[in-house]
Amino acid sequence: MPLTDTEIRLAKPKEKPYKLSEGGSLSLMVNPNGSKWWRFRYRINGREKMLSFGVYPDVPLKLARGRRDEARKLIAAGGDPGTERKATKAVQVDTFETIAREWFELQAHPPADSNRAPLSPITAKKTEWMLDAFLLPDLGSRPITEIKAAELFTVLRKIENRGIRETAHRARSLASRIYRYAVATGRADRDITIDLRGALAPIVTKNRAAITDPTLIGELLRTIDGYQGQPGTAYALKLSPYVFVRPGELRAAEWNEFDLKAAEWRIPAERMKMRERHIVPLSRQALELLKQLHAHTGYSRYLFPALRTADRPMSNNTVNAALRRLGYSTDEMTGHGFRALASTCLNEQGWHPDLIELQLAHAESNKVRSAYNRAQRLADRKKMMQAWADYLDALRAGNAVPITLTRAA
């Protein structure tokens, strides 16, 4: 019986490798580590040979069947698929694009046994866009070993001359990762981007706009309460100061991530910038907002679905656009600014920096310390988040709350 996609997906690893037969000399080898390799066995002059067609699901069932059929036609015509593949590889040139695409595929879809998390969908999309827009048009067809540092510098200067310096630096960093992969796989001798360190104009950093004055924070909260736009957008604005997560983490929030009984929002690692699961303790105020929001968007997978379809979250710019409608310019307040607002005020109130950094989900260089902190300080973070919500309510009411009313952990 031919295989089906469902049968392949449900095939579980065992202590020893085992085969699932597709027919026509094609089979799928299921390994103990969970990887699933397509194998095609054939005979040439009485000698049995084996050819790999790749890994499932990167090579789906339909594609594996197509490769089998092509190989069988070649054998019937007197050829040898293995010999032909070697000959094809021998004449192939390792271009910048070939290696870049191979590197990107490895990052976006790492092997099951690599213990590496794949790029988040947003990061993968940005990386592929940067390749297609800036590096591949000029360098893609060039053999990677023939590209000189000066040639790459010309490409980066074109980006820089468009006034997007940060993008030029990111493109250099992306090229460096591709070159390091080429070196590791024996297809380049060195990373030529090292020769360009300091060659690009420095990035002029600009802090994201945020309101941090307590009186102005109270005014902002009252203004948000008066927002007359879409309910989902209104609740995104109202919830932002209570949870102060990154805008992308908020807009793509899913209802199944929330445990209202435990008063926790558990954001999975794949949606976090630092690729670690993050817990946001929910204050009484945040819980009340979520209960109200559920009446509007509980039908959807997302808390804040897009207007045209409930199958996608609202756009990246929705919260910023709403702030503009409320009269706040890009130099005054942004969606990301709620993080700076909370960080500044909580630090001024004397809360322990570790608690604040943990709640902001910033990277911890010491992995052991990071694991200990995240596991052991959740109770303290819950106290801080409730005190923070109470502080915001007082500011909304127009009370100038003294710093001494909040207690450091």
DSSP state of 301: S
- How do 258-259 and 47-56 pair as beta strands? unpaired
Between CA 300 and CA 254 the distance in angstroms is 9
Confidence band, pLDDT 50/70/90 cuts, at residue 408:
very low
Strand segments, DSSP code E, in 152-242 are none
Q: Is the pLDDT of residue 365 over 50?
A: no
The residues that bridge with 219 in the sheet, in sequence order, are none
DSSP state of 374: H
Cα-based distances in Å from 251 to 113, 235, 290, 337: 32, 11, 14, 15
Fold match flag (5-91 vs 214-405): no
Cα-based distances in Å from 179 to 66, 132, 311, 396: 33, 17, 38, 53
Specify the pTM. 0.54
Q: Which long-range contacts (CB under 8 A, 24 or more apart) does 9-18 make?
A: 9/57, 11/36
The dihedral built from the CA positions of residue 87, 90, 93 and 97, taken in this order, carries a sign that is: positive
CATH code for the structural domain at 214-405: 1.10.443.10
Q: Is the pLDDT of residue 268 over 50?
A: yes
Alpha-helical (H) ranges within 46-141 are 61-76, 81-91, 96-108, 121-130, 136-139
Q: What pLDDT was estimated at residue 319?
A: 93
Nearest partner of 132 among 92, 97, 85, 81, judged by Cα: 97
Which of helix, strand or coil describes residue 399?
Answer: coil
Superfamily of domain 96-196: Tyrosine recombinase, N-terminal domain (1.10.150.130)
Catalytic site residues?
Answer: 246, 273, 336, 339, 362, 372
Q: What pLDDT was estimated at residue 47?
A: 86
Nearest partner of 307 among 365, 232, 364, 379, judged by Cα: 232
Which of helix, strand or coil describes residue 52?
Answer: strand
CATH code for the structural domain at 5-91: 3.30.160.390
User: What is the average per-residue pLDDT within 180-189?
Assistant: 90
State which amino acid sits at residue 70: E
Q: What pLDDT was estimated at residue 231?
A: 92
Confidence band, pLDDT 50/70/90 cuts, at residue 363:
low
User: What is the average per-residue pLDDT within 275-280?
Assistant: 88
Of 50-59, 70-79, 281-290, least confident by mean pLDDT is 50-59
DSSP string, 1-42: ----HHHHHHPPP-SS-EEEEEETTEEEEE-TTS-EEEEEEE
What tens digit of pLDDT does each residue of 316-351 get?
889 999 999 999 988 889 999 999 999 999 988 888
What are the tokens at 376? 């052991």
Between CA 348 and CA 391 the distance in angstroms is 13
Cβ atoms of residues 24 and 71 within 8 Å:
no
User: What is the average per-residue pLDDT within 244-270?
Assistant: 93
Q: What is the mean pLDDT of the chain?
A: 87
- Residue 147 CB partners (closer than 8 Å, separation 6+): 96, 139, 192
Cβ atoms of residues 359 and 264 within 8 Å:
no
Each domain of the chain, given as residue ranges in start order, spans 5-91, 96-196, 214-405
What tens digit of pLDDT does each residue of 374-384 get?
555 899 999 99
* Residue that is written with structure tokens 């801080």 in the block: 384
